[in-house]
Chain A
C-alpha cells in the first residue's frame, strides 16, 4: 500500500529575486541590520540583542529528535522579497501572487475570511482586513507595522509574560531575528464571526522564517485565526522557528488553527503558547504534515479560574520525517479544564512521537483533564512513540491519559470489502475515519486541503 502526500503545488519554487539577503549564519551585524532596515524603536533592538546573547550561551536541547544536521551557519536569517506590503492582490508582484493563487489564498479570502495576510520569506507582502471589522476596532496588522503603530500594546504583550525571550534556545533565536507575522487585537465584547487568516511561505533556499504572531483577545471577545505554512523543496536544509503568543483575557475565546506543511528539508522548531484568564478558552487545532523534523508543543497556561483549553492535533510522518509534537497544559487555577486529542499516522519509516506535558499546581483545585492519543502505523518500518509527562501537586484533580497504537485491522478491511468496496477504498475509508474528528474541526478549505494532502495511493495490497 502506498500512502503519500501530493506536494507538487508546494514544492515548486520561484526564482530568487529577493531585494535583500543577509549572508548566512547568525551574527550581531545581522540582528542590527534587521532592526535598522525595519526602522525599529530602540527597545525592540535591545530585546533582540539580549536574546542573541542568551542564544549564544545556550546549548542545543539534548532531548527529542536529533538536530545534528541543522547547521545554523548555513541558514540565511533575513531575506526580503523586495515587495511592499499591498492591500490588494493586484499590487503584489506577479511571481509571488501566482504562488499564492496556486495555494489558493486569494480565493479563500474572498469566500471564507474576514481578513488575510501573506508572508513571503521575511516580509509580509499582502495584508487586508474587511472594512466591517476595521470599523469595530479590530486590529489585524503585520507584526512589523504593529511595533510602530501600537507600541503600548506590543510593549506590554510581545515576548513578556507569555513566551519570555529566555524560554529556550530557539525562542532566543526567534527573538533575535524575528521578522513579519501577525498582530491581532480584538476589542472588548467583539466577536469576530468569520476567521482571519495568514499564510507563511518560505521561498529562499537555506532560508529561515521567524514570523511572530501575537493575538490579544480582550474581555469577552472571540476570534478564530488560521495559519497555513509551506515551503518549496530544496537540497539544503531550511529552518522555521516561529513564535505564537495568545493572550486570552477574561471570558474571551481564541481558536487557533494551523496546518503546517513545510517541505521535507525544513526543521520546524516552533513555539506556541496561550495564557488564558478567568473563564477564557483557547482551542488549538494543529496539523503537521510537512517538515523533516518538527518539534512543536503548543502550550496552554490556564491562569484564571474556569479557564479551558482544547487541543486537537494530527501529525503525519512519512519517509525521513520525524514529527515530535504534543500539547502542554499548565493548570494553575481552580476549576480549570483541558481536553487533549492527538492522532498520528506513521508510514515508510517515519517517526511520530507524542510528547506532552500536564501540570496541575497546588492552586488548581478541581482541575480536570483528559488526554487521548491514538497512533496508526501503516507498515512495520515506522515508529510511534508516546511520552506524556504528568506533574500533579494536589489531590482535588481528575487526570487521565491514555494512548493506543495499532495497525489497520485486517478484519475491518475484510468487512468493508464484503460490503462491496475494493481494498484500496476500504483503506482510504479507514484512514479518513481515523482523522475525521480533526478534519471536522478545520475550516472548510483546510479540511479539503488536508484531505488532499493525505491522499491515498494504493499500489499492491496489504497482508
Chain B
C-alpha cells in the first residue's frame, strides 16, 4: 500500500497522523481475538486501495433545520479545533479504525447551537463508490436537543467505513438512529463514540441489517455527573452475513446511568459476535448500569457468539447483565397455531414481536416500517 496522499490544504499534523495510523494498521495483527475460538479475521476483508478512498461518487443528502450548522470536516477543523483535534490526538489501537484514520477522504461536522431544540437531521446515503471512508462529528451544545437519522443503503462490492463522534455538552440530548441496509456484497465498518457531559443524555439505536460483513461499535463515555447513556441494538442476519457488534458504556462519574439492550435474530448461515461492556470506574459512585442481549436462532446453521463483560470497580452501584440464545418458544407457536395461524405465520409473528421493544424506540413511522419490512422478509428465508 503506498503512503497516503493528503488532500490539499490539510494541516501538517493531520498528514502526520495519517502516516502514523497507517503504520499502526500494518503492525496490528489481522486476526483479532475476542476469546477461545471467538475472533474476527480482517484478512477476509477486502480493505480498500488508497486511490479508491478518495473518490466520492456517492449520493449523500443531509437535510436539517436552518438553526443547525452543517459544514465539511476541513471547515470544522478550523472552526472547532478543540472538539475535533482531540479525536486525532492518539493513533487508534483498533486495526480497522487505524486504517480509517489513515485513509479517510471525507467528513461532516454538525453543530446544534446551545438552547436549541431542532427538527431531526436526516442523513441519507446511497453508496455507489467502491470505498467510502468518512467522519461525522456532532457537537450538541449546552441544553440543545437533536435527533439524527443515519440511513445507509446501496453498495456493491464496496467498503464503507464510518466514524461518528458525538459531543453532548451539559444538559444536551442527542438521539442517533442508524439503519444500515447495504447490499449483501458490501463491507460495513462503523465506529461510534459519544462523550456525555453533566446532565446530558445520548441514545444510540443501531440497526444492523445489511452487508456481507458488518462491524459496529458503539461506545458511550459518561464523563460527568448524572450523564445518561442508552444503547439499543437490533440485528438480523441471513444467508452468509457476518456481524461483529460491540456495545460499551464507561461510567467515569458518579450518579451516571446506562442501559443497553440488543435484540437479534439469525437465519440461514448467518453468524454474529456480540460483545458488551459495562465498566464502572473507581470514583464513579451511585451508578446504575444494565446490559442485555437476546439472540433468536432460526436456523441450525446459524452461529452466535456472545461475550458480555462487566467491570465494576466500586461497590456503591447497581449493575447487571444478561444474555440469552434460544429458538422461538414452541409453546407460544403452538398457541398461535391454535388460533388459526400456520406454523410459518406463527413463527414470523413471533420474530416480528421479538424486535418491537427496540423498534418502538425509533419513534419514526417511515423508518420503523422499513425495518419491519426487512425483518419480515428475512424471517421468511
Contact = CB atoms under 8 A, between A and B. Distances in A.
B321 A391 contact: no
B274 to A, nearest CB: 9
Given A391-B38, A399-B326, A405 B305 contact: no
Nearest to A354: B310
A377 B316 CA distance: 8
Main secondary structure of the interface of B (DSSP, over half): strand
Contacts of A395: 266, 297-300, 302, 327
Interface in B254-283: 266, 282
Contacts of B301: 362
A398 B320 CA distance: 20
B306 A390 contact: yes
A385 B302 CA distance: 29
Nearest to A357: B36
Give the most central of B34, B297, B310, B316: most A CB within 10 Å: B310
B120 interface: no
A402 interface: yes
Q: How large is the interface on B (under 10, 10 to 19, 20 to 34, 35 or more residues)?
A: 35 or more
A406 interface: yes
Main secondary structure of the interface of A (DSSP, over half): strand
A53 to B, nearest CB: 24
Given A380-B285, A381-B282, A389-B35, A400 B307 contact: no
B310 A403 contact: yes
A451 interface: no
B369 interface: no
B322 A400 contact: yes
A405 B319 contact: yes
B310 A380 contact: no
B308 interface: yes
Contacts of B34: 389
Interface string B67-110: 00000000000000000000000000000000000000000000
A355 to B, nearest CB: 9
Contacts of B303: 391-393
Contacts of B318: 406
A359 interface: yes
A288 to B, nearest CB: 19
B325 A399 contact: yes
Contact of A383 (B311, B319, B324): B311
Contacts of A391: 35-38, 303, 305
A400 B326 CA distance: 8
Contacts of A378: 315
A389 B311 contact: no
Contacts of A404: 319-320
Contacts of B319: 404-406
Interface string B285-313: 10000000001011111111111111111
B350 interface: no
Contacts of B324: 398-401
A388 B316 CA distance: 23
B323 A401 contact: yes
A385 B297 CA distance: 28
Q: How large is the interface on A (under 10, 10 to 19, 20 to 34, 35 or more residues)?
A: 35 or more
A357 to B, nearest CB: 6
A403 B35 contact: no
B317 interface: yes
B338 interface: no
A381 B310 contact: no
Given A392-B303, A397-B326, A403-B321, A380 B309 contact: no
Contact of A405 (B285, B302, B320): B320
Contacts of B344: none
A397 B285 contact: no
Contacts of B309: 385-387
Interface in B342-365: none
Nearest to B305: A391
A125 interface: no
Contacts of A379: 315
A396 B329 CA distance: 11
Given A391-B37, A395-B298, A399-B325, A405 B314 contact: no
A384 interface: yes
Contacts of A88: none
Contact of A400 (B36, B305, B315, B323): B323
A332 to B, nearest CB: 13
Contacts of A386: 308-311, 321
A169 to B, nearest CB: 15
B299 A406 contact: no
Contact of B326 (A359, A393, A398): A398
A399 B325 CA distance: 5
Nearest to A404: B320
A382 interface: yes
Interface of B: 34-38, 266, 282, 285, 295, 297-327
10 contacts: A362-B300, A378-B315, A388-B307, A388-B323, A391-B36, A392-B304, A397-B327, A400-B325, A405-B319, A406-B315
Given A377-B314, A391-B37, 16 more contacts: A377-B315, A377-B317, A381-B314, A382-B313, A386-B311, A386-B321, A395-B266, A396-B327, A398-B324, A398-B325, A398-B327, A399-B325, A400-B325, A402-B321, A405-B319, A407-B315
For the complex of A and B, the 6 pairs showing the least CB-CB separation, nearest first, are A395-B297, A377-B315, A407-B315, A380-B314, A386-B310, A402-B322
